[in-house]
Amino acid sequence: MEEQGRERRPLVDDLVAGTLLIGGAWHPATDGATFRVEDPATEETLAIVADAGARDARRALDAAVRAAPAWAATPPRERGELLRRAFDLLGERTERFASCITAEMGKPLTDARREVAYAADFLRWFAEEAVRVPGRFTTAPDGATQILVTGRPVGPCYLVTPWNFPLAMATRKVAPAMAAGCTAVLKPAELTPLTAVMFCELLVEVGVPPGVVNLVTTSRPAEVSTALLGDARLRKLSFTGSTAVGRVLLAQAAPQVLRTSMELGGNAHFVVFEDADLDAAVRGAVLAKFRNGGQACTAANRFLVHRHVAEPFTDRLVRQVRALQVGPGCSPGTDIGPLVDGRAARRVESLVQRALDQGARLLAGGKRVTGRGHFVEPTVLTDVAPDAEILTEEIFGPVVVVTQFADEREAVALANATDHGLASYVYTTDQARAHRMLAALDTGMTRINTGLLSNAAAPFGGVKQSGSGREGGAEGLLEYLDVRSAAFGG
């Protein structure tokens, strides 16, 4: 690995030419506006980046529209090979990308390295999928008509990503878009634009043609999104973020009847049955909850534990939680970094406080850490009131809430009692029960006896208000293709 262990304030010195990538060149914002990017562990400024407005967004779309025909006509093998080169180079630069992610987002370096590997997997996966665009030639029931079904790139796409996985959420969209032959305008979250800048630099370096991927960094997401979603040349929106913002963007996409892929919020449950291997369940719980400090859409939000094993499970979990090290993501040994900003830390603290006010019992943690940085103690709560906000809202922080259930039927009812339907985790040694749970749970993704969810080869996405569309897997490519049919008379 290149640059292992090298201390570096990523990008601070490198941003002289501006951070908007438009038509293959780096630009400042047309009105000269900039915004500050902060390190959540120290509250220090990491970098000042270009702050795109509506004009810049339209210029980026101009470039994507200009590049679209040639890119769609580029042989799939060539498109795939560019993605493969990007995969190789990203692997070589793991440390550089990981320290950038840690610096602007806060997650521990070990989590950041895992994110780089996961992000790279999408580049490799879609390098392979680029040459496997599915099609069909079939005979109609009349026996005479021949039907040809093909996929065609949807056209210029607007890709909006959140701050919690600043690299993986970008590659999970950019790679399938490129593989399918679409051009794109990428808009990273305002809290974490630097990783996206670094990723786009890498795409330029491996030879992605000008205009195929354009980048707009902005602190004015509503202005940029309104300009793009109102432009008839845009053909697709792919959004990952909160359900609240997703609803706004869906409404803005409606007048143009845009194709959309919406990866929205979650409220995952983690069900532990009385027959579960409790040590494995506790290990899985720590992974499913504390990776990224709990700031993942797939993070276990509600722990539903059978009443016969609730006490031993909770005792073991509390021991593990108390041993977690809180600190800056770049310090060796850190398990839990800061939350992404002060607002997030205050929100989590007040969710915990309100649950305590309603009678919850505190078994570990419970407070923000005083001093610089947005740190919250890893926390465990039990006896939470059934209507407490902490059970209905996405916590997005290092807080475990344990609730007991009496039987399988009650576990399913509690698990499905949410408007969200992204992810679920089930621990049981009974195969028949595992299959019954798979059938009964209203989530797009279920994991049995593992706390790890992400895999580039598995379609990722939710049901209910967790969104629509899938990323990764063979399905991820289809989101960027229009299905067309032709019929030939006999």
Q: Is 222 in the site for ligand NAD (CB under 6 A)?
A: yes
Residue 95 C-alpha from the chain's centroid: 20
Q: Residue 166 class from Cβ within 10 Å (0-12 exposed, 13-18 middle, 19+ buried)?
A: buried
The three-class DSSP label of residue 206 is helix
Assess 112 for contact with ligand NAD (CB under 6 A). Answer: no
- The answer to whether residues 275 and 241 touch, using CB atoms and an 8 Å cutoff, is no
Distance CA 413, CA 426 (A): 14
Residues acting as catalytic residues: 263, 297
CA neighbor of 422 nearest in space, from 446, 404, 402: 446
DSSP label at residue 397: S
Q: Which is nearer to ligand NAD, 99 or 238 (CB)?
A: 238
CB of 298 to ligand NAD, least distance (A): 7
Pattern of binders to ligand NAD over 384-413, x per CB under 6 A? ----------x-------------------
What is the C-alpha separation between 158 and 153, in angstroms, rounded? Answer: 14
| Least separation in angstroms between CB 179 and ligand NAD | 19
If you count DSSP H runs as helices and E runs as strands, how many of each does the chain have, helices first? 15, 22
Among 266, 366, 398, 421, binds ligand NAD (CB under 6 A): 266
DSSP H/E element including 301: strand 300-306
Residue nearer to ligand NAD on the CB measure, 64 or 82: 64
Site string for ligand NAD, 139-178 (x = CB under 6 A): ---------------------xxxxxx---x---------
> Is the CB of 292 or the CB of 428 nearer to ligand NAD?
292
CA–CA dist 262, 252 (Å, integer): 13
Nearer to ligand NAD, 234 or 422 (CB): 422
For 483, the enclosing helix (H) or strand (E) is strand 481-488
189 sits near ligand NAD (criterion: CB under 6 A): yes
Among 149, 248, 356, 448, binds ligand NAD (CB under 6 A): 248
- What binding mask, one character per residue, do residues 446-475 give for ligand NAD by CB under 6 A, x or -? ----------------x----x--------
Chain centroid offset of residue 455 CA:
12
Q: Where in 336-395 is the site for ligand NAD (CB under 6 A)?
A: 394
E strand segments, 60-189 = 136-139, 146-153, 157-160, 184-187
Smallest distance from the beta carbon of 269 to ligand NAD, in angstroms?
14
User: How is residue 51 written in tokens?
Assistant: 């702050």
Q: Which of residues 181 and 469 has its CB atom nearest to ligand NAD in the complex?
A: 469
Under the binding rule (CB under 6 A), the answer on residue 422 touching ligand NAD is yes
d(CA 194, CA 161): 13
Torsion-angle region of residue 242: left (phi > 0), alpha (psi -120 to 50) or beta? beta
Candidates 263, 349, 408, 479; binder of ligand NAD (CB under 6 A) is: 263
Q: Does 301 bind ligand NAD (CB under 6 A)?
A: no
Q: Which is nearer to ligand NAD, 131 or 251 (CB)?
A: 251
Q: How far is the CB of 160 from ligand NAD (least distance, A)?
A: 5
Interface pick for ligand NAD out of 166, 181, 221, 329 (rule CB under 6 A) = 221
Residues 471, 160 contacting (CB under 8 angstroms): no
Give the pair of three-digit tokens for residue 319: 């021991």
Give the whole-angstrom CA distance, residue 438 versus residue 13. Answer: 50
Phi first, then psi: give them for residue 362, nearest 5 degrees: -95, 120
Please report, as residue ranges, which positions from 279 to 298 form the binding site for ligand NAD (by CB under 6 A): 297
**Choice between 166 and 181, CB closer to ligand NAD:** 166
At its nearest, how many Å lie between ligand NAD and the CB of residue 222?
Answer: 4
Candidates 28-36, 242-250, 271-279, 357-365 — which segment interacts with ligand NAD by CB under 6 A? 242-250
Helices assigned H by DSSP within 187-271:
194-206, 221-229, 243-253
Binding window for ligand NAD (CB under 6 A); candidates: 37-45, 61-69, 258-266, 307-315: 258-266
Q: 37: which strand partners?
A: 47
Q: Which C-beta is closer to ligand NAD: that of 159 or that of 363? A: 159
Q: What distance in Å separates the CA atoms of residue 454 and residue 469, rounded to the nearest whole number? A: 16
Indicate which single residue of 185, 264, 278, 395 sits in contact with ligand NAD (rule: CB under 6 A). 264
The b-or-e profile of 455-483 (16+ CB within 10 A means b, else e) is ebeebbbbebbbbbbbbbbeebbbbbbee
| Subset of 27-66 contacting ligand NAD (CB under 6 A) | none
Q: Would you say 214 or 240 has its CB closer to ligand NAD?
A: 240
Q: Which residues bind ligand NAD (CB under 6 A)?
A: 160-165, 169, 187, 189-190, 221-222, 225, 240-242, 245, 248-249, 263-266, 297, 394, 422, 462, 467
